[in-house]
Amino acid sequence: MSERWFRVQTTVEVGFEEPRTGGGGLRPLQARKLAEQARLSLDRLSNRRDLEVKEALSLVLDAVAAMERELEEMQRRTLLDRRGVRLEQCEVRIGGDGFWTPMSVEGPVLVHIGLRVGGVHHLVSALAVGRTAPGGSEIRFTDPDPGVRDLVVAFVFDQQRQERRRELDALAISGASG
């Protein structure tokens, strides 16, 4: 059964490598997420006196969570660098099933993609199959992790939202000047 996914044209960071046994992708790190644990404890504060403390600590936890994400991103990039994988800015047409790229890619690959979703950068990986096509290659994900697919779909809709916003802004400017 062939799935049809909505796609957008955009630029992302992309890197390819030979598939590894056991997947070899960039799975979430197994480190304890301190911000998540602290947030669970913070949620137990419930009376009015604790409200100001809860709000202040929530802001601190947002900062800790951001630092944890940045550290994870650096660790993933270091791992890819050690493997000899270079992430390159590339124009793609991307959707939940994969993407088209002007690069030449044939056969099974482990693809790494840098996506910005909701102001947060994510570096995800998925097994895929590349098939050369005129002017580039069609990369199809092969049974990606649901979290990876969710991030790709969220990225696509975020890109579409931004494009619609630019179109509306351009219409508003042209309408105001006319």
DSSP string, 84-126: T---EEEEEEEETTEEEESS---EEEEEEEEEEETTEEEEEEE
Tally Cβ neighbours within 10 Å of residue 99: 28
- Encoding tokens for residue 78? 């270091």
Half-sphere exposure (Cβ direction) of 38: Cα atoms closer than 13 Å: 14
| Mean pLDDT, rounded, for 141-161 | 91
61-77 tens-digit pLDDT: 788 877 888 888 888 88
The answer to which of 3-12, 40-49, 146-155 has the lowest mean pLDDT is 40-49
**Coarse DSSP helix, strand, coil percentages of the chain, rounded to the nearest 5 percent:** 45, 30, 25
Tell me, yes or no, whether 170 lies in a domain.
Answer: yes
Tell me, yes or no, whether 1 lies in a domain.
Answer: no
86-117 tens-digit pLDDT: 999 999 999 999 999 999 999 999 999 999 88
Separation of alpha carbons 14 and 87, rounded Å? 5
Q: Where are the beta strands (DSSP E) in the chain?
A: 8-17, 88-95, 98-101, 107-117, 120-133, 136-141
Domain range holding 72? 8-177
pLDDT at 22: 59
As a whole number, the mean pLDDT across the chain is 83
Tell me, yes or no, whether 2 lies in a domain.
Answer: no
What percent of the chain stands above pLDDT 90? 40
20: three-class secondary structure by DSSP: strand
Tell me, yes or no, whether 3 lies in a domain.
Answer: no
Residue in 1, 36, 22 with CA at minimum distance from that of residue 125: 22
Tell me, yes or no, whether 13 lies in a domain.
Answer: yes
Please state the domain count of the chain: 1
Tell me, yes or no, whether 129 lies in a domain.
Answer: yes
pLDDT at 165: 87
pLDDT score of 29 more than 80: no
Tell me, yes or no, whether 144 lies in a domain.
Answer: yes
pLDDT at 87: 93
- Encoding tokens for residue 8? 């957008």
